[in-house]
Structure 1
Amino acid sequence: MCVVSESSKMYTQHLRSFGAIVKERQRQILNYGFRIHPFSKANLIWSLTQLVVIFIEVVTLALSYVFFSMNSSFVYLYIFSILRYAMNAFFGLVVILNFFTGYYDEPNQEVVLDSTKIASEYFKTFFILDLTVTIPLEASYYLFWFWDKKTVQLLNCVKFLVVIRFYKHFKFCAEVLSINYYKYMVALVVICALFYWHIVCCLLMLFRLHLSSGGRKELMFKYARTIMHSFWSDISKTHPEIRAIIGAYYRGSLIIYNSSYGTDLPSTEAEVLLIWFGWYASSLFFIYILALIMEIMKGKTSAAHKYVEMEKQLKDYMRHKQLPMIMRSRILTYYEFRFQKSYFRENEILDTISEQLRQEINMHACRKLVENVIFFRNLPLNLLVRIISCLRIEVYLVNDIIIKANTPGTSMYFISTGTVAIYTKSGKEICHLEDGSHFGEIALIIKDTLRTASVIAVEVSEIYRLDQKDFVKAINPYPDLLANIQHIAAERMEVASMLDEYNRKEQTTKR
C-alpha cells in the first residue's frame, strides 16, 4: 500500500511503465523502507481521509465561534469536546506522517524519499500551519494565559488556513482518480464558495459580539421578529442553536452581499469598519470566484480544456462510426497516454523557435533515454544530437505488433517507457525488454533484410523509432561505431537463429 501504485502511469510524467514502477519500488524498499510514496494507494486513502476531517474541522470550528456566548449550546457538551480532541489528535498524526511521506520534486522531476530532505521541505512549507491546527482551543487558553479568552479565540482563527491543505489534497485526489477537469473546477468553485460563506458568516457574528457595546449578547436573535415570526418563535424555544446559526447566516449574508446589518444599525465605529472590511473582502473573493467561472467557460484555449474538447469530439466520432467498445477503449487509452490529458500541437510549437532551442528540447525530452540506453553511451555529442533529432516517437498499446518476423526491416526502436516481448519466427517467446532497451538494429546494418523476430507490446509503451536512411547519414563519419553496431547485430542474429532452430527441432520431436 505504501509503495508506488501501478495507476501512477496515467498521471505522472516519469513513471509511465511497469519497468519504471518496479525500479521505483525496489529503490524505496531497499533504501527507504519506512516511507510512504507520494504516488501510492496509502497516500491516496490518507488524502481522502484528510479531506473529510478538514471539512468537519472547518464546519465545527466556525460553529464553536457562533455558540461561544451560549453556555447551554451543544459545543459545550462532552461528546462535542471528544470530537474536537479526536480531530486535534488526528492532525497531530498528520504532522508525524508528513515526515515519512515523500514528495515529488518537480524542478528535478524525481520523487524524494530521503528523510532529511522531506523534513527540510516540510519545515519550509506546511509545518507551522499543520502544527497550529493540532493545538486544542482549550489548551490555547492555558498557553496564552496572559490574554483573555476572547482574544485567544480570535487568535485561533488562523486555524481556518487549513483550507489551503484541503485544496492541495483535493487537487491531488482529482488527478489520481482521473476526475474530469470541468467537474473538478465546478466542485472547487462550489466548495470554495460554501467554505467562505460559512466561515465569514460565523466569524462576523463573533467579531460583532466582541466589538458591539454592552448589553448586546442577544443581538444575534433580534432579526427573528422580521421573518416567519410565528414559526420562528416555536423553533427558538426548543432549538436555540438553530436560531443562533441561522441568525449568524442571516446577518453575515447581509454584510457580505449588502454591506449592512439590515434594520439593526451598528452601535460603534468598530462595527462600521467591520461591515466595510467584510463587504470589501467578500467583493474580492467574488471576483476570484468569477475568474474561476470564466476560466471554466473560456478555458478552451488551455491545454487541459483542449484535451477535454478533443476527447468529446473523439467520442462523437467513434459513436458515429459505430466502433466496437473494445476499440473505443483502446483509442481513448492511446490518447490519454500520448497527451497526458493536455492537448498541444508540438510541430507548431517547435516551428516557432530556433534550431538551437529545438535541439535542447529534444535532448531534455530524451535525457532518460540517453541515460538508460547502452547504445547511446559514450557517443560523440554531435552524433548524439543528430541521432536524437531523427527519432520519431510512437505509442503502442497492449498486444500491438511493433515488428513482425519475416517482414522487411527499415527501422530501429528504443524503448523510452514500457515493456515488449520478443518472439522467434516459430512463435516461441524469447524474453521481455523494458525501459532503456533497443531492438531492430539489424535493419540499420543490412539493407532489405527480413526481421528475425516479432516484437509485441506487453503494456502501453512509448517507443522512439530511428529510420535507416537517417541513421546512415548520421553514422557515416564514425566507422568505429558502425563496426560496434554490426557486431551487436550479428550476435543477436546468431542467437535468434539458434533459438528458432532449437524450437523447430523441439516441435519436430514432439510430433
Structure 2
Amino acid sequence: MFSGISEKMPSDINPRNRNLECFTISKTNPLTINYFRSHVAIDNEKERHLENFPYTIHPLSKFCEYYSAYCFFLYVTLIVLKSYDFAFTRIKCEDPYSKNIGILATGITFDCLAILNMILQCFIGYAQKDLNIELSLQKILLRNFLSGHIFCDLFSSIPRIAMIRTHTYTFFILNTMQLLKLRRITSIVRLIRPTFQLLKIKSPVKKFVIVFFLFVFMLIHLMTCIFLGIARYRFKIMSMMYNSTTFLKRITGRGTFANVTFLERSNLIQYLVAWFKNVQNVMLINTSDIKSASRSIINMEEQIVSIINYLVGKLLVCVIWIVMLYVFAAKWQLRTKFEEIMTELNKYMLSKQFPLELKSRIITYYEYKYQKLFFNEFVTTSLLSETLKKEIDVFLCKSLIQEISIFSQVSAKHLKHIISNLVPRIYLPGDLIIQAGTYGDCMYIIESGTVAVFSPSGKEMCHLYDNAYFGEVSLLFKKKKRSATVVAIEVSRMYELNKKEFNRCFKNKTNKKIYMSIIKLAERRLKETSVSELQMKEAKILAELKA
C-alpha cells in the first residue's frame, strides 16, 4: 500500500544538534522555499550540514534571517558614517579627532562591529547560481577573498586613532581607505529582499518608494561628503606647498568651498550648504547659480561647467528613469500579474462570503502553485508541439520516477509513456486524498510534501515523504477497496497515474516479472495492514473488558 516510510522521533535527535537549531536550515526562513520544497528535503539538508559542516552557519537558518536585516542596516550606517568621517576629518596627524570626540567614540564602535562582522562572514555559507548551498569553510573563505569583501572591510575599518603622528600623506591614504566601504553597496542591494521579507513589507509600491529614497539619500550624501573631503584635502595640501599666511590671503573669498571662512564654519553649516548644492546638481531642480554666475566675470568657469552639467544632467536623468522603469516593469511583470489575480480572488471570496479558514486554504494553494509569479501554463504549453511537450514532461518527472523502486527496472520506452500520462495534483494540509473502504482507479507518487496514512479504524500508521507512492493496491486487484486513508499534512505536490496507463505499462511480456513482484509486495503489505488492524481491535476489546 505504501513505501518510503521514514520518521525520526524527537528523542532520536542529537542533543548537540538541538543546540545548533538556530544556525542550521530553518523551515521558517522565507528563502528556504526557493531551494527546498518539502520537509524531507529540508531535513536531509539539515543532516548534511550538521554532519559534514558543523563549524559553518547555514545561509537559510533562523540566525541568517535576522542577520541579513542586521547587515543591511549596518552597511547603510557604515557607508553614511564613513563618508561623513572622510569629509570632516581635521587634517592633523598629531590629533586626527580634534573637536570630534563623538565621532571618535561612534567610529571606534562601528569599526569593531565591522571587523566582527567580517570575521563572522567567513563562517556563513552561500547559495550558488544552480540553487545549491555551499557550506565548505575553504570555499567560503575563497569566495570572500575573491570578492574583495575581506580586504575592503579590513582596510576601511582601521581606526584613525591608530594613525596619530604618522606622515601627512600616509594619513591621507589611510583616511581615504574609509571609502572602500562603498564596496558594500552591492551587498545592500542583495539584502533588500530578505530585509523586506523580515519586516513584512509586501507592497511593490512601498518597496519601490523606500528603495528609491534610500539610494537617492545615499547618493546625495556621498556626493556631499566627497565634495567637502576633496576641498579639505586640497586646502591642506596647498597650504603645505605655499606659505600658509600668503596662501590664505590668496584664496580668501574665491569660490564657496575654497573659502577659509566657509571651512571654519560648523560641520552642520558646511554639510547643509554642500547638501543643497549637490541636490541642485544631481536632481537638477534649480538653475539659479547659472543666472547669478553670468553677472560675474570671475565665475566664468563655473558658469560654463554649470551649463554643461545642466544639459548632460537632464539627458542622464531621462535615460536613468527610462531604464529604471523598463527594468522595474520587466522584473515585476509576473509578480504584478500575480497580485492582480490575488486581488480579484480576494474580491471574489469577499462577495461569496467565504469563511476565513477556506480563504486561507485557497490563498495557500495559489501561493504554492505560482510562487507569487503568475504565468498561464495552459497558454504557454498549448503553443508547443506534442514532441516538445513530451520532452518537457520527461525532463520534469524522469528523476522522480527513477527514484521509485517499482519503476526503476521499467524500459525507457514504457517509462516515457508513464511520464507523459502523469497528472499533477496539489493538496493542502488536511486534504483527504484517498478514503479507506472506497474503490480506486489511480495511484499517487509524491514529488514533495508529507502525507499521513491511517488504518480503516482511524489509527495513524506512518508518514510518507518525497519519492514515496501509495494507492497501487486498488490497481492490482479487481474489486479491491482502499485499505487505508491518506491525508496531506503539509502542502504536497504529487502525480496521479490512472489504472489504464498502469496496466498498459506493466501488463505486458516485457515487464511481466516486474508486475508479479509488485503484486507480491502489495499482498505482503495488505497482510501487514490486516494484522495491524486485527491487533488494534483485540487491544480495544481487551481494554473494554477490563473497564
Q: Does TM, normalized by the shorter one, top 0.5?
A: yes
Rounded Cα–Cα distance in structure 1 between residues aligned with 2:163 and 2:84: 18
CA shift in 2, pair 1:155/1:510, >3 Å: closer
* Greater Cα offset, 182-191 or 260-269: 260-269
SS in 2 for 1:192: helix
Secondary structure, in 3 states, of the residue corresponding to 1:302? helix
Do structure 1's residue 341 and structure 2's residue 363 form an aligned pair?
Answer: no
Match of 2:59 in 1: 38
Write the deviation string for residues 75-104 of structure 1: whole angstroms up to 9, x where unpaired.
852332232222222222222222211112
Whole-Å separation in 2 of the counterparts to 1:301 and 1:199: 29
Give yes or no for the alignment of 1:251 onto 2:283. no
- 2-structure distance, mates of 1:33, 1:358: 44
- CA-CA distance at 1:49 after TM superposition: 1.2
Indicate yes or no: 2:458 matched with 1:427: yes
CA distance in 2, matches of 1:176, 1:382: 48
Deviation at 1:500, TM superposition (A): 2.0
SS at match of 1:366: helix
Matches within 5 A, 1:73-472: 76-107=99-130, 109-128=131-150, 130-131=152-153, 134-136=156-158, 138=160, 147=169, 149-150=171-172, 153-154=175-176, 156-175=178-197, 179-180=201-202, 182=204, 183-208=206-231, 214-215=251-252, 219-220=256-257, 240-258=266-284, 262=289, 263=292, 280=312, 284=316, 287-289=319-321, 291-293=323-325, 298=329, 302-366=333-397, 369-370=400-401, 372-472=403-503
Structure of greater relative contact order (alpha carbons < 8 Å, 6+ residues apart): 2
2:40 to 8, 19, 22: 19
Q: Structure 2 unaligned segments of length 5 or more: list them.
A: 1-21, 236-249
| Per-residue deviation, residues 129-152 of structure 1 (Å, max 9, x unmatched) | 643564326289699968465566
CA distance in 2, matches of 1:399, 1:84: 55
Give the AA of the match of 1:44: E
Q: Is the 8 A contact 1:423 1:429 kept in 2?
A: yes
1:7 match: secondary structure: coil
Q: TM-score, normalised by structure 1?
A: 0.84
| 8 Å Cα contact 1:66-1:203 kept in structure 2 | yes
Partners of 2:380 and 2:119 lie apart in 1 by 45
- Separation in 2, partners of 1:356, 1:92: 57
CA offsets, 1:403-450, max 9 Å, x none?
A: 111111111111111111111111111111112211111123234431
Query: Is residue 66–residue 198 contact of structure 2 (8 Å, CA) maintained in 1?
Result: no
CA distance in 1, matches of 2:425, 2:187: 39
For residues 452-501 of structure 1, the C-alpha deviation after alignment (integer angstroms, 9 at most, x for no partner) is 10001112212221122222233345222222222222222222222222
Q: How many residues align?
A: 497
- Give the C-alpha shift of residue 509 in structure 1: 2.9
Q: 1:438, 1:299 → 2: CA distance?
A: 40
1:17–1:417 CA contact under 8 A, matched in 2:
yes
Greater C-alpha Rg? 2
Q: Distance in 1 between matches of 2:421 and 2:39?
A: 27
Structure 1, gaps ≥5 residues long: 226-235
1:229 is aligned to none
- TM-superposed CA distance for 1:3, in Å, is 0.9
Question: For residues 408 and 362 of structure 1, what CA distance do their matches in structure 2 show?
Answer: 29
1:424–1:496 contact (8 Å) kept in structure 2: yes
| Inter-partner Cα distance in structure 2 for 1:408 and 1:283 | 72
1:343 maps to a residue whose letter is F
Taking the aligned partners of 1:342 and 1:434, their CA distance within structure 2 comes to 26
CA 470–275 in structure 1, closer or farther in 2 if over 3 Å, else same: farther
When normalised by structure 2's length, the TM-score is 0.79
- Cα deviation code 1:98-127 (max 9, x no counterpart): 2211112232x3211122222233333353
Counterpart CA distance in 2 for 1:9 and 1:482 is 43
Change (3 A) 1:118 1:367: farther
CA distances 1:16-59 after superposition (whole Å, capped 9, x unpaired): 22222222211111111111111111111211111121121122
Q: Where does residue 510 of structure 1 map in the other structure?
A: 543
Residue 5 of structure 1 aligns to a residue in which SS?
coil
CA distance in 1 between partners of 2:415 and 2:161 (Å): 64
Displacement after TM superposition at 1:68 (Å)? 3.4
Q: Secondary structure at 2:24's aligned position in 1?
A: coil
Measure, in 1, the Cα distance between the counterparts of 2:288 and 2:154: 33
